[in-house]
Structure 1
Amino acid sequence: MSVSVEVGRFVIAGGAGARGRALGACGRDAFTSVVMRSALWRRLTAIDLVPAVRRMADTTRALFPDIHDEIAAMAEGLGLPFEPVFAWNARGDLLAGLGDGCTTVLVPGETPVIAHNEDGLPGLLGQCFLAHLRPDGTHAAMSFCYPGSIPGHSFAVTEAGLVITVNNLRLLGVEPEIPRMVLTRALLGVPDRAAAVALLRDTPPSAGYHLSIGQVGAPDIWSVTFGAGAVHVVENTHPLLHSNHAQVSGPVLSNQTITASSGDRLRRGADLLSQGTAPLSILTDTGGVGLPIFRDKPDDPDGENTLAQFMARISPTGIEWQVHTPGHAEPAHNGLMPINRVLPNG
């Protein structure tokens, strides 16, 4: 019997409680069958991590009560206690060497393009889904979601005119006070890129992420690297590829682990970009020296496979997006995110 690897698609609407319970229900079967059977889950729920989980949960409740409530309701939807589900949503903050991957291609210009490979646990192939968020009181968005995870930490488009993709960084020496996934969840509701950067600069330290942020009406694509209380912004006007290490200097953001896969993907992607290769062709590439950009091997050294491929074109009237089942030329899902910068209750 064949196993489906299609990406599901659901509407998630209402207040924090309704959204969280729906997110939990959408991911419950995969969370039970894949996540909770993994070594990663056993480590995240170990007793020695409980104080850090509680500290970050308290900070989240104080600064982002709506997101705290969304996670609590998601735990209800999963049929699990709050603390282990919160730990799953703080996994990159609790464990600095987490294997999360991803590759992003940034092509600024008159019609900017952002393309992205979402790489994760191989057992989650076909178990993730697209959430069309219709929250009360803030902007609508579309985000790729992992089972038991809040939206915002993979790739997303928002009604405010933003395209956001997220790459894991393995920063060292971080003492996180809030999960990085909480911060990227909050970014789905901001009105523009400047507000996104301001939010990151005004919040306590978290583990590290690299964000590619495009905005309707802007020809450039921002490269935003943050973690451990530091934020670095580059307004890119030339094509660029990003993998899973910070490409900036300085004592905080350069203190990191760079895996062989991340280095190999960056070098191969830069070569392909210099040859004018199309973004999706770069993301499906398996050539070059070293480990490939497109990841489908059971013995991947980071324990990662490509779970979905995403591309967005940013025009003056909206964001045309498409999501591909890994390696398939035709999109499994596509759409146009219209722009509405007026809040529902504004």
Structure 2
Amino acid sequence: MSNETVTRGLGWLRLSGGPRDLGLALGRAGRAAVAQNLLVHPLWQTVNAPAQAARVARMAETTRARFPWIWTEIEGLAEGLGLPIWQVFAWNCRGDLLASVPDGCTTVMLPGPEPMLAHNEDGLPFFRDTCFIAEAQPEGRPGFHAFCYPGSIPGHTFAFTGAGLVQAVNNLRLVGVEPGIPRMVLGRALLATGSLAAALELLRDAPSGGFHFALMQRGDPRMISVEFGGGGYSVKEIDAAAVHANHALHLRGALTAQTITDSSRDRQARGEALVAAGHEPLAILRDTGGSGLPIRRAATDDPDEENTLGTAMMRLSGQRLDWSIHDGADGPARYSGTA
């Protein structure tokens, strides 16, 4: 069912089977890291507090009704982690329950004849060396490669699928949201869609926490920026090099009902300046310059409690996707290939 390569740095996990099989393998891969670091973190306690129980129950009911296979995958994840399903499900609702969580990220979007998405995945610093790339072959659904955090389902980071979809996801800190379905469940469902059109329809009018998806698809010339949350939805076709950090740029309503941290504001401004100056995407995502907080994050006292844990370069060339994944501040890629 799964073969895990355990090395220092960003790991690699091959897994296949039905939803419970995939969830079980993901849970086993992340069990030690979750037990050692996450269960004692205040954020775990907050999302599992009695005050959140009714909202978690409502989202669980919606998930089971709309995406029973994802609920089954989360059941397998909980079994692999050795934790109660309700605690694990609540953790996978963290961005819907709370306006601000430590799931950062910066995306560089380069449209053109060979469009490219480049992405820094920023998360809780203690997850360094315990995250992994899932190379998954689900039964009856497209295969995918996705960056995974211990304890979380795939689909809310960077990924590419056997159907030709490529995605990079950023947290939006929307306020006043009353969630109906977890944004991470929608991200997981997107990995099973067969086209860019189907992906966009899935995210339309989502009563969830806020996310930004940068999307492209093999054989489609478009690069799409999607911001959604709280029932709002905005789609923008990217026609020039652009950057997206962790706040909404074009979602009506969210522009005045969101939290913009100093880090997100500084990364957005620095990224836009570097793009305008013609810097290469990997250099942009490894940048630590500027007068504000850096794009590449490695500080133990990062104000958002986030560090850069992985960087992806994903370029479409005709029917081919060339990709590389980096887990260091310099040097060559840890993994690379052509899909």
Q: Same fold (TM over 0.5)?
A: yes
Specify the alignment match of 1:344 in structure 2. none
Specify the alignment match of 2:324 in structure 1. 322
State how 1:166-185 maps to structure 2 within 5 Å: 166-185=169-188
Distance, in Å, in 2 between the alignment partners of 1:324 and 1:30 is: 21
Among 15, 25, 30, the alignment partner of 2:28 is 25
Distance, in Å, in 2 between the alignment partners of 1:116 and 1:39 is: 27
Alpha-carbon distance, 1:328 to partner: 2.8
Specify the alignment match of 1:45 in structure 2. 48
Q: Is the 8 A contact 1:178 1:205 kept in 2?
A: yes
Alpha-carbon distance, 1:280 to partner: 0.3
Unaligned runs of 5+ in 2: 1-6
Query: SS of the counterpart of 1:191?
Result: coil
Distance, in Å, in 1 between the alignment partners of 2:101 and 2:235 is: 24
Among 289, 292, 307, the alignment partner of 2:291 is 289
| Residue identity opposite 1:74 in structure 2 | L
Specify the alignment match of 1:236 in structure 2. 238
Specify the alignment match of 1:334 in structure 2. 336
Alpha-carbon distance, 1:329 to partner: 2.6
With the length of structure 2 as denominator, give the TM-score of the two structures.
0.96
State how 1:158-237 maps to structure 2 within 5 Å: 158-201=161-204, 204-237=206-239
State how 1:101-180 maps to structure 2 within 5 Å: 101-180=104-183
Specify the alignment match of 1:11 in structure 2. 14
Distance, in Å, in 2 between the alignment partners of 1:295 and 1:230 is: 30
Distance, in Å, in 1 between the alignment partners of 2:107 and 2:146 is: 16
Alpha-carbon distance, 1:5 to partner: 4.8
Alpha-carbon distance, 1:249 to partner: 5.0
Distance, in Å, in 1 between the alignment partners of 2:263 and 2:328 is: 18
State how 1:250-289 maps to structure 2 within 5 Å: 250-252=252-254, 254-289=256-291
Query: SS of the counterpart of 1:138?
Result: coil
Q: Deviations over 1:134-183 (max 9, x none)?
A: 00101110000000100010000011111100000000110001100000
Specify the alignment match of 1:341 in structure 2. none
| Residue identity opposite 1:123 in structure 2 | F
State how 1:72-91 maps to structure 2 within 5 Å: 72-91=75-94
Alpha-carbon distance, 1:218 to partner: 2.7
Q: Deviations over 1:211-255 (max 9, x none)?
A: 100111233310000101111101111100000000015224541
Cα 1:26–1:7, aligned 2, differ >3 Å: closer, same or farther? Answer: same
Q: Is the 8 A contact 2:24 2:76 kept in 1?
A: yes
Q: Is the 8 A contact 1:226 1:253 kept in 2?
A: no
Unaligned runs of 5+ in 1: 338-346
| Residue identity opposite 2:194 in structure 1 | P
Q: Is the 8 A contact 1:114 1:312 kept in 2?
A: yes
Cα 1:182–1:222, aligned 2, differ >3 Å: closer, same or farther? Answer: same
State how 1:57-68 maps to structure 2 within 5 Å: 57-68=60-71
Distance, in Å, in 2 between the alignment partners of 1:230 and 1:190 is: 21
Specify the alignment match of 1:342 in structure 2. none
Specify the alignment match of 2:303 in structure 1. 301
Alpha-carbon distance, 1:308 to partner: 0.6
Q: Is the 8 A contact 1:171 1:254 kept in 2?
A: no
Q: Deviations over 1:2-22 (max 9, x none)?
A: xx7511101121101111111
Alpha-carbon distance, 1:87 to partner: 0.6
Q: Report how many residues are paired.
A: 333
| Residue identity opposite 2:266 in structure 1 | D
Distance, in Å, in 1 between the alignment partners of 2:95 and 2:251 is: 21
| Residue identity opposite 1:178 in structure 2 | I
Task: Report the identity percentage.
Answer: 50
